[in-house]
Amino acid sequence: MSSRILITGGAGFIGSHLSERLLAEGNEVICVDNFFTGARANIEHLFGNPRFEVLRHDVTFPLYVEVDQIYNLACPASPVHYQHDPVQTTKTSVVGAINMLGLAKRLRVPILQASTSEVYGDPAVHPQTEEYWGNVNPIGPRSCYDEGKRAAETLFFDYRRQHDLDIKVIRIFNTYGPRMHPNDGRVVSNFIVQALRGEPITMYGDGSQTRSFCYVDDLVDGMVRLMGTGHDVTGPINVGNPGEFTMLELAQAVLEITGSRSSIEYRPLPQDDPRQRQPDITRARRELGWEPTVALASGLQSTVDYFRHALAA
């Protein structure tokens, strides 16, 4: 059955892919975005679809629409962007969550929160299970994002306890793919853009820190599966690819796929940069029947193809 679905942050990297997927399934999609990091270019191929609608709106202000489901993705996600205006980042996570939860409460509809592996901070438990409470600095440069997302999770679970809302909290691990912003400073886009331009690869620290990279189509599938679960499934649920790589290994893979001869240039490690990260996806396997299907090499190939095209345009 088709639904009318609200996606906040729908013009962003993940939101645009989610919009595509939900439209392809025959739903109506209302994309709400203030275009801080989102772009018209990410969604303009959807403008011709009569089931797609865009509202320029900031989620820190109340929103009155009538929908059947809400995906709350609005929030800058890269360290460069979320640290640009950190007060607005916290407001977006916290006040934005309150407004979207108020909307879900009035409509009595399910609401999914795009939470993050950053709630685990610089994790002392490896790989990270949902039971782990995390290791987050409350006053550092990453805190606006980490603590904002943690407070949003608190709000989701309190609306559940107080108002019995149908909440779904997904903890997204590093995701990559076409339509990443070329200048948002994230490692996959940085390395690919640098390799394609023949510029030095900027390696922060010694490159031994790890991340686990999930291709965007796999992530979107996990989000849709979680939204499709019953009232009893709230999460939090980790969704990410357990394949763990050092940043040096990532650089090597990007150099091989692009055929680039860029050198590697070492830079200081940013403050509070997590040393390691890998999702334990036992719960996603059990409750969603989900696991990633796209290996890093093939996901990187699609992403490189996208950037080759985007940079030439």
Select from 43, 46, 63, 73 the one that contacts ligand NAD (CB under 6 A): 73
Q: Around 186, how many Cα atoms within 13 Å sit in the side-chain half-sphere?
A: 21
Instruction: Give the interface segment with ligand NAD, choosing from 8-16, 154-162, 201-209, 285-293 (CB under 6 A).
Output: 8-16
User: Binding of ligand NAD at residue 75 (CB under 6 A)?
Assistant: yes
Comparison of 216 and 262: residue with beta carbon closer to ligand NAD: 216
Residue 235 binds: one of ligand NAD, ligand UDP, none (C-beta under 5 to 8 A by kind): none
- The minimum distance between CB 101 and ligand UDP, in angstroms, equals 6
* Residue among 144, 159, 160 at smallest CA distance from 90: 144
- Among ligand NAD, ligand UDP, none, the one that 273 touches (CB under a kind-dependent 5 to 8 A) is ligand UDP
CB under 5 to 8 A by kind: which of ligand UDP, ligand NAD, none does 220 bind? none
3-state per-residue secondary structure call for the chain: CCCEEEEECCCCHHHHHHHHHHHHCCCEEEEEECCCCCCHHHHHHHCCCCCEEEEECCCCCCCCCCCCEEEECCCCCCHHHHCCCHHHHHHHHHHHHHHHHHHHHHHCCCEEEEEEHHHHECCCCCCECCCCCCECCCCCCCHHHHHHHHHHHHHHHHHHHHHCCCEEEEEECCEECCCCCCCCCCHHHHHHHHHHHCCCEEEECCCCCEEECEEHHHHHHHHHHHHCCCCCCCCCEEECCCCEEEHHHHHHHHHHHHCCCCCEEEECCCCCCCCCCCECCHHHHHHHCCCCCCCHHHHHHHHHHHHHHHHHC
Q: Which residue is nearest to ligand UDP (CB)?
A: 102
Minimum CB–partner distance for residue 45 and ligand UDP (Å):
26
| Contacting residues for 229 by C-beta, under 8 A, at least 6 apart | 168, 287, 288
Q: Minimum distance from CB of 253 to ligand UDP (Å)?
A: 13
Task: Mark whether 132 is an active-site residue.
Answer: no
Rounded least distance, CB 108 to ligand NAD, Å: 23
Residues that bind ligand UDP (CB under 6 A): 62-64, 78-79, 98-99, 102-103, 105-106, 174, 185-187, 190, 202-204, 209, 211, 247, 269-270, 273
Between the two ends of the chain, the Cα-to-Cα distance in Å is 39
Active-site residue, from 71, 82, 145, 159:
145
Q: Which residue in 13, 52, 71, 191 binds ligand NAD (CB under 6 A)?
A: 13
Number of residues that bind ligand NAD (CB under 6 A): 28
> Contact with ligand NAD (CB under 6 A): which of 27, 116, 189, 258?
116
CB of residue 98 to ligand UDP, shortest distance in Å: 5
Q: Which of residues 161-200 bind ligand NAD (CB under 6 A)?
A: 172, 174-175
Residue 38 CB, nearest approach to ligand UDP (Å): 18
Q: Which active-site residues does the annotation give?
A: 145
- Which residues here bind ligand NAD, judged by CB under 6 A? 8-9, 11-15, 33-38, 58-60, 73-77, 92, 96, 114, 116, 172, 174-175
